[in-house]
Amino acid sequence: MDIKEISDRMDIEKLVTDYATAVDSRDFNKFHMFFTEEAFVDYTATGGISGSIFEIVAFLESAMVHFPNYQHFISNISLNIAGDTATGKVMCLNPMQTKDNDVFFLGMWYQDTYKKIQNQWRISSRIQQRSWSHNVPLAMLSSFES
């Protein structure tokens, strides 16, 4: 592994960490710094929507008010870098608290593609892949079943 690949890996890992931090701090407007303009995001595996970054930000701003607390723990970041493009698989554990103080857990993978634009890595697509869930409220279960 050469110094350029090490640097690219560190930059992409920071990008996915910054994404998780923005979600958990409800700073969804920062998404425009993390994604390409034409990015496609698919959260349907965990009951959300798919669409453009503008549609995703609007969805998160309205949907996440129903959860007083949540966190995204990311790990096992597997990257394949080829010049100014890359693919990645990122593990995520997402505990969420409901307004009734119940807690449920989502285990998922993010299947990502990345693009380097003006020397900055951006997410060009992010697709959730459901792995497992625990204690999901009954009202939400139908959107998770596939």
For 28-43, write each residue's pLDDT tens digit. 999 999 999 999 999 9
Gap between the Cα atoms of 26 and 65, Å rounded:
9
For 42-76, write each residue's pLDDT tens digit. 999 999 999 999 999 999 999 999 999 999 999 99
Look at the pTM and tell me if it is higher than 0.85: yes
Q: Residue 127: count other Cβ atoms within 10 Å of its Cβ.
A: 16
Which helix (DSSP H) or strand (DSSP E) does residue 145 occupy? Answer: none
Nearest to 112 by CA among 124, 102, 100: 124
pLDDT band with cut points at 50, 70 and 90 for residue 141: low
Cβ atoms 42, 13 nearer than 8 A? no
